[in-house]
Structure 1
Amino acid sequence: MPVVCAIPTPAFQAYHRRMTRRGLVLGSGGVAGVSWQTGLLAGLLEGGVDVLDADVVVGTSAGSTVAAQITSGLPLGDLLARQVDPALQAPELSPVLDADDRLMLLLDAHDGATGALDVRRRIGAMAVAAPTITEAERRAVIEARLPSRSWPESGLRIVAVDGETGVERVFDATSGVDLVDAVAASSAVPGAWPPVTIDGRRYIDGSTRTAENADVAAGCERILVLQVMQIPGNSDLDEQVAALRERGARVTVIRPDDAAALAIGPDVLDPAVREASARAGYAQGLRVAASTGAFWH
Structure 2
Amino acid sequence: MKQLPMSRPKIGIALGAGVARGWTHIGVLKTLNRAGIDADIVSGTSIGALVGGCHAAGKLEPLEEFARSLTRRRMLSLLDFRFRSSGLIGDTKLTELMREHLTDIRIEDLEKRFVGVATELTTGHELWLHHGNLIQAIRASYSLPGVFSPIAVDGRWLIDGALVNPVPVSVARALGARVVIAVNLNNDPFDPAARRRAHEASFPGYLQSAAPVMPEDDLFRELGEQMDEEMEEQAEEAKAAESEML
**Which one of the candidate residues 60, 66, 71 is aligned to 1:82?**
66
Q: Aligned-pair distance for 1:96?
A: 8.1
Q: 1:138 deviation in Å? A: 1.7
Determine if the alignment matches structure 1 residue 225 to structure 2 residue 210.
no
Partner residue, 1:153: 111
Cα distance in 2 for residues equivalent to 1:210 and 1:56 = 17
Of 4, 21, 35, 2:23 maps to 35
In structure 1, distance between residues paired with 2:96 and 2:177: 30
Q: Could you tell me the percent identity over the aligned residues?
A: 25
**C-alpha RMSD over aligned residues:** 3.4
Return the structure number with greater relative CO, CA threshold 8 A, min gap 6.
1
| 1:266 corresponds to 2:199 | yes
Superposed displacement of residue 208, structure 1: 1.0
2:170 is matched with which residue? 215
More strand by share: 2
Q: Per the alignment, do residues 41 and 179 of structure 1 end up closer, same or farther by CA in structure 2, a change over 3 Å counting?
A: same
Q: 1:178-257 alignment to 2 at 5 Å?
A: 178-218=133-173, 219-230=176-187
**Cα 1:154–1:44, aligned 2, differ >3 Å: closer, same or farther?**
closer
**Alignment partner of 1:132: what SS?**
strand
For residues 30-63 of structure 1, what are the alpha-carbon distances to aligned partners after superposition, in whole Å with 9 as ceiling and x for unaligned? 1x13312113323444xx3244x21110010010
Q: State the TM-score, normalized to the length of structure 2.
A: 0.65
Superposed CA offset, 1:133-179 (max 9, x none): 3xxx3244134146213131310011111111111111113xxx321
Contact 1:83 1:275 in 2 (8 A): no
Q: Which residue of 1 aligns with 2:39?
A: 54
Task: Please say if 1:164 is aligned against 2:164.
Answer: no
What is the deviation of 1:79? Answer: 3.6
Q: How does 1:104-183 map to 2 (within 5 A)?
A: 129-133=85-89, 137-145=90-98, 147-149=101-103, 150=105, 151=107, 152-173=110-131, 177-183=132-138
Q: Does 1:25 align with 2:24?
A: no
User: Bigger radius of gyration, 1 or 2?
Assistant: 2
SS in structure 1 opposite 2:115? Answer: strand
Distance 1:209 1:28 in 2: 11
**Unmatched 5+ stretches in structure 2:** 213-246
Q: Is the 8 A contact 1:21 1:222 kept in 2?
A: yes
- Compute the TM-score of the two structures, normalised by the length of structure 1: 0.55
